[in-house]
Structure 1
Amino acid sequence: MANEVTKMIMETILALITTAFAFVAGEAWNSAIQAFIESFIGAGDAIPSLFIYAIIVTVIAVIVTVLIARVAGKMGVETE
């Protein structure tokens, strides 16, 4: 019983650490993409650049999600 609890705690800690690093990486990409878009559109046009940014991030998220689901499917992992 104690072994199972220790294993569950370690899995949770690993998941939290992985999620934290993913969040930090996401924030870095967020800043990079915003700066990239501002260099083309300019900082004065805030609303159009935010919409363009949102569209670009959405498209990237959809593509990455589809690719990950395909890889998971090939590995036999079920996705919801």
Structure 2
Amino acid sequence: LVVSPDSVVAVETDPQGHAAVLCCDGRRTFALPAGTRIEVVRGATPIRLVRLHDCPFTDRLVRKFELPVQGWRGPRPG
């Protein structure tokens, strides 16, 4: 989701529905009663969401998940 710096992103729970849970950064959680409205706006401090590295993204996946590379990387046998 890409929005302009001046955007307001709002999420509402159904007033006739069930309670919900808001999870921020995978760490902090907040109980939201039915009918709650949350608005997300630009903060005063910028955050860094993406880090660009010199190596290809696929190389990072191979390292992170210890994926086997035999057979699909490197020279073909024979």
TM-score, structure 1 as length reference: 0.22
The structure having more radius of gyration, on CA atoms, is: 2
- Whose relative contact order is higher, 1 or 2, with alpha carbons under 8 Å and at least 6 apart? 2
Relative to its length, the structure with more helix (as a share) is 1
TM-score, structure 2 as length reference: 0.22
